[in-house]
């Protein structure tokens, strides 16, 4: 019987991953944890990922078998405090990997990101193996994290699996501190204000993915036969790529009065350093990755669900 611990569980990805894992394993088999208290979760534990002793205690006490380690500081917020970002993103991961090395847990999931790419990486169809010279501390921490995952797998046999997520679009929990966050904010502002001021230029193309695809892909990778996995750094994963103008044009088709303006800030340089489209052949070949949502599906699903959430 699996017992799963999810760190960073209150975040955009965590909140929906916990729900999906609970459908699969049962509510009491999946412990959600985060640095902040939450009161509406029957199986929640407060955990600062830098507290190694508490982490180990939880794993031993609850006989945890798998950890989905989502706790991290993202690309834009990371730039405000590089040292803290490095500490949280890297030392948190090392504590989890050590639990795998010591035989306390059987499987680990580590989320990586398109932020591992940098200004010298080819922007179109970015290959699995390419230049990794990111310009953000978040990107640096994630490339290093990938290398540690690979090292722990090769040296200690730790079963650690990872995906390089693009920007994730969802309506249940808002993202915080990322460069791709505009692609969620735009829907909130369209519904609440009828207008959106975008912090990226209109022609900034970035890879994105709807949350259901991200969750399904994650669980698919974690369920995959380990003999089929040829990569223990992190898998490139693609779904859609679009610009602020393209998504706003589709929103306008559904909301006549919607308008958008552009006021690029420091996040523009981050976005400019990332890939635009991704080659995810390894994921397709090794574990049959196949996303379902295109941009039109995303716009329709987001507007429908957010309208209900915000307007009842
Ligand atoms: C961010 O924008 O920082 C994240 C990411 C692409 O990893 N959404």
* SS3 assignment for 71-139: CCCCHHHHCCCHHHHHHHHHHHHHHHHHHHHCCCCCEEEEEEEHHHCCCCCCCCCECCCCCCCCCCHHH
Answer whether 179 contacts ligand 1 (Cβ < 6 A): yes
pLDDT band at 207 (very low <50, low <70, confident <90, very high): very high
pLDDT digits (tens, 9 = 90+) for 142-156: 999 999 999 999 999
pTM over 0.85: yes
Is 17 found in the same domain as 121?
Answer: yes
How far, in Å, from the CA of 280 to the mean position of ligand 1? 17
Total domains present in the chain: 2
Is 214 found in the same domain as 203?
Answer: no
Answer whether 78 contacts ligand 1 (Cβ < 6 A): no
Q: Is 232 helix (H, G, I), strand (E, B) or coil?
A: coil
Active site residue 138: yes
| pLDDT at position 62 over 90 | yes
Q: Which atom of ligand 1 is nearest to the CA of 138?
A: 3
If you average pLDDT over residues 209-222, what whole number do you get?
98
Answer whether 141 contacts ligand 1 (Cβ < 6 A): no
What residue owns the CA closest to ligand 1's atom 1? 178
User: Which range marks the domain in which residue 181 is found?
Assistant: 169-207+240-276+293-311
pLDDT band at 7 (very low <50, low <70, confident <90, very high): very high
What residue owns the CA closest to ligand 1's atom 7? 113
H/E stretch holding 170 reads none
Is 203 found in the same domain as 219?
Answer: no
Is 257 found in the same domain as 140?
Answer: no
pLDDT digits (tens, 9 = 90+) for 176-199: 999 999 999 999 999 999 999 999
CA distance 68 to 8: 9
25, 68, 138, 235: the catalytic one is: 138
Answer whether 74 contacts ligand 1 (Cβ < 6 A): yes
User: For the domain that residue 116 is a member of, what is the CATH number?
Assistant: 3.40.50.720
Answer whether 211 contacts ligand 1 (Cβ < 6 A): no
Residue 65 lies in a domain: yes
How far, in Å, from the CA of 76 to the mean position of ligand 1? 8
Is 214 found in the same domain as 189?
Answer: no
- From the centroid of its chain, how far is CA 168? 7
Query: Per the structure block, which two tokens stand in for 12?
Result: 């955009």
Query: Per the structure block, which two tokens stand in for 55?
Result: 């982490």
Answer whether 114 contacts ligand 1 (Cβ < 6 A): yes
pLDDT digits (tens, 9 = 90+) for 244-278: 999 999 999 999 999 999 999 999 999 999 999 99
DSSP assignment letter at 28: G
Nearest to residue 200, comparing CAs of 138, 150, 270, 134?
270
CA distance 255 to 98: 51
pLDDT band at 128 (very low <50, low <70, confident <90, very high): very high
Answer whether 167 contacts ligand 1 (Cβ < 6 A): yes
| pLDDT at position 87 over 90 | yes
| Average pLDDT of the chain, as a whole number | 97
Q: Which atom of ligand 1 is nearest to the CA of 177?
A: 3
Q: Which atom of ligand 1 is nearest to the CA of 136?
A: 3
Is 180 found in the same domain as 153?
Answer: no
Residue 284 lies in a domain: no
Residue 286 lies in a domain: no
Residue 283 lies in a domain: no
């Amino acid at each position: 019987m699996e017992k799963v611990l999810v760190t960073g569980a209150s975040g955009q990805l965590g909140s929906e991953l916990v729900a999906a894992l609970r459908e699969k394993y049962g509510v009491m088999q999946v412990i959600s944890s985060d640095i902040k208290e939450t009161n509406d979760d029957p199986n929640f534990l407060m955990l600062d990922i830098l507290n190694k002793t508490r982490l180990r205690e939880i794993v031993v006490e609850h006989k945890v078998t798998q950890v989905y380690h989502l706790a991290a500081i993202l690309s834009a917020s990371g730039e405000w405090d590089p040292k803290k970002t490095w500490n949280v993103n890297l030392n948190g991961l090392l504590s989890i990997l050590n639990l795998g090395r010591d035989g306390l847990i059987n499987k680990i999931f580590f989320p990586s990101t398109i932020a591992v790419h940098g200004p010298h990486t080819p922007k179109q169809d970015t290959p699995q193996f390419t230049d990794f010279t990111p310009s953000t501390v978040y990107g640096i921490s994630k490339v290093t994290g990938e290398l540690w995952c690979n090292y722990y797998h090769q040296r200690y046999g730790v079963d650690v699996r990872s995906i390089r997520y693009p920007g994730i679009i969802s309506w249940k929990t808002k993202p915080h501190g990322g460069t791709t966050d505009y692609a969620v904010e735009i829907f909130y502002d369209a519904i609440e204000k009828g207008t959106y001021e975008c912090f990226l230029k209109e022609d900034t193309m970035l890879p994105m993915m709807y949350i259901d695809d991200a969750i399904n892909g994650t669980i698919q990778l974690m369920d995959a036969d380990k003999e089929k996995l040829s990569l223990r750094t992190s898998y490139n994963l693609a779904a859609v790529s679009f610009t602020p103008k393209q998504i706003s044009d589709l929103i306008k088709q559904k909301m006549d009065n919607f308008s958008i303006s552009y006021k690029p800030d420091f996040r523009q340089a981050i976005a400019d350093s990332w890939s635009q489209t991704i080659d995810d052949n390894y994921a397709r070949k090794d574990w049959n990755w196949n996303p379902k949502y295109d941009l039109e599906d995303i716009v329709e699903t987001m507007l429908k669900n957010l309208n209900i959430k915000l307007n009842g």
